[in-house]
Amino acid sequence: MIEIAIDGTAASGKGTLGKKLSEKYSFPYLDTGMLYRKVAYELIKSNKINTEKLEQTCCDFGTIVTFKELKNKNLRTEDVTKLASKIATFPNLRKILNNKQKKFNNLSKKKYGGCILDGRDIGTTILPNADFKFFITASLEVRAKRRLLEKNISFLHENDEKCMLQNLMNNMRERDNQDSKRKISPLVPAKDAHIIDTTIINPEELLLIVTNIIENNMSC
Ligand code: C5P
């Protein structure tokens, strides 16, 4: 049974890598950031962002979140993204979502022989004994450009594009800081992770590097 843990910064290519590995090896894949996004989305939708009992409210939403609800493009807005990073600092919410991730991993391994998780603390906290750990990163500018391309806005004036890129870079820098400086489960590479910088490589090249590492180190 194989566990693959992928961590890294936003827009580093870890999600695409997770999906491609899932197709290649037929193991289920979970983008764990979507769990935090779903809780943030529910907070915004129910107008409870300013509630005094914010952590408890997050825990209530976290307890009832199901994996089926995570494929929703509303979970990708900038508001949800910022709030997800903020609530991800709550220890009690993390406990609830960590249990869900571990359950997903155990069920997937039993049923399909393997599992792939991507997030911020997979190699350090969720799957500390994973067979393979990868930490994916890239320069801030390249990551922001990738996000801008994903937005698929073809009519932008050059100045608007510069401005949007700058905004994306500022937001990403802030989120990277918040994620890597928090006390509980910060974004850091596991000691035994393969660290890969994707600034000048494309998703296919990344997949090749990663599958070479996996296949050269398979014990069976
Ligand atoms: O990966 P994604 O950008 O969707 O994650 C949104 C936020 O969720 C991150 O900025 C991070 O604060 C939080 N997160 C986390 N631990 C994970 C996955 C995501 O703290 N395993």
Percentage of the chain with pLDDT > 90?
89
Atom of ligand 1 nearest to the CA of 7: 21
119 lines ligand 1 (CB under 6 A): yes
The residue whose CA has the least distance to atom 2 of ligand 1 is 33
pLDDT digits over 114-136, tens only?
999 999 999 999 999 999 999 99
Pocket test for ligand 1, best of 102, 179, 183 (most atoms within 8 A of CB): 179
Atom of ligand 1 nearest to the CA of 86: 12
Evaluate if residue 157 carries a pLDDT over 90.
Answer: no
Residue-level pLDDT at 159 = 78
Cα of 86 vs centre of ligand 1, distance in Å, is 10
Evaluate if residue 220 carries a pLDDT over 90.
Answer: no
30 lines ligand 1 (CB under 6 A): no
Pocket test for ligand 1, best of 36, 76, 121 (most atoms within 8 A of CB): 36
d(CA 161, CA 170): 14
Helices (H), the chain: 14-25, 33-45, 54-64, 78-87, 91-112, 140-151, 158-181, 203-216
Alpha carbon 99 to chain centroid distance?
A: 16
Segment 137-154 mean pLDDT: 90
33 lines ligand 1 (CB under 6 A): yes
140 lines ligand 1 (CB under 6 A): no
Cα of 188 vs centre of ligand 1, distance in Å, is 13
The continuous run of DSSP H or E covering 137 comes out as strand 132-137
Average pLDDT, the chain: 95
pLDDT digits over 56-78, tens only?
999 999 999 999 999 888 999 99
37 lines ligand 1 (CB under 6 A): yes
SS3 state at 66: coil
The phi, psi pair for 167, rounded to 5°, reads -60, -45
